[in-house]
Amino acid sequence: MIVGTLAPQAGAVYLSLMYSFVLAAHNIVRWVVLLTSVIALLNSYRGLVTGAAWTPRDRTILAAYANSFGVQFLLGLLLYVWLSPLTRTGFGNMAVAMRDPALRLFVIEHPVSMFIALAFAQIALGRTRKAATDAARFRIAAILLTLSLLLVLARMPWARPLFPAF
Ligand code: HEM
């Protein structure tokens, strides 16, 4: 009997802990994504301006951005479909969510923009592999990474804490 009444509470505590943990991880990994994106962007413009040869190091720098973004995407997806009370509220009443700027940001604008930004990073990874010349590789990376970073900066929830509070 006691076990029966405690089980739902234990489930709620577990979910709340998971939410805090994944949100904190999503918050911190954001800095990794931003750092790798700035490094990859500067590196692509350096190659474009100096006419440097495309080396495995350039590919590693680009992959570091695309892969850290992939990790951030998975954390964001966990929040979006399972853990976040914000998106749960939004899914409960989409009409209300669309009229509320704070809810609309997390239900539509943030995830959609970030998904497109991730696609730009992944396309850059694929296209630079197939490009005919090194100049084309740096040009493709510069264009796609600029678009990707602009989207990330535009739809980052800057009003939220810059670091998680433990
Ligand atoms: C498609 C990928 C993504 C999805 C689906 C997603 C989803 C979400 C959701 C649902 C929240 C709100 C969680 C809540 O407060 O209950 C959130 C918060 C946040 N997201 Fe994302 N996200 C994605 C990508 C990104 C990326 C790429 C960045 C930054 C580089 C980012 C940075 C943040 C930050 C800083 C917060 C606030 C964290 C906090 O308050 O501590 N997200 N995200």
* Three-point CA angle 101, 107, 112, nearest 5°: 105
Alpha-carbon distance of 93 to 88, in angstroms, equals 9
Q: Any idea where the domains of the chain sit in the sequence?
A: 2-154
SS (H, E, C) 21-76: HHHHHHHHHHHHHHHHHHHHHHHHHHHHHHCCCCCHHHHHHHHHHHHHHHHHHHHH
Mutate to test the pocket of ligand 1, among 18, 21, 26, 27 (most ligand atoms within 8 A of CB): 26
Question: Does 97 have pLDDT greater than 70?
Answer: yes
Other residues' Cβ atoms within 10 Å of the Cβ of residue 75: 20
Distance 148 CA to ligand 1 centre (A): 15
Alpha-carbon distance of 31 to 131, in angstroms, equals 30
Alpha-carbon distance of 116 to 126, in angstroms, equals 15
Q: pLDDT tens digit string along 35-69?
A: 999 999 999 999 999 999 999 999 999 999 999 99
Distance 149 CA to ligand 1 centre (A): 15
Please state, in angstroms and as integers, the Cα–Cα distance from residue 143 to each residue in 13, 66, 124, 148, following that order.
45, 15, 9, 9
Alpha-carbon distance of 83 to 63, in angstroms, equals 28
155 ligand 1 Cβ < 6 A? no
Distance 95 CA to ligand 1 centre (A): 22
47 ligand 1 Cβ < 6 A? no
Atom of ligand 1 nearest to the CA of 79: 10
Atom of ligand 1 nearest to the CA of 160: 40
User: What type of residue is 143?
Assistant: I
Alpha-carbon distance of 161 to 164, in angstroms, equals 6
Atom of ligand 1 nearest to the CA of 34: 30
Alpha-carbon distance of 39 to 58, in angstroms, equals 10
The percentage of residues in the chain with a pLDDT greater than 90, rounded to a whole number, is 92
Q: pLDDT tens digit string along 103-142?
A: 999 999 999 999 999 999 999 999 999 999 999 999 999 9
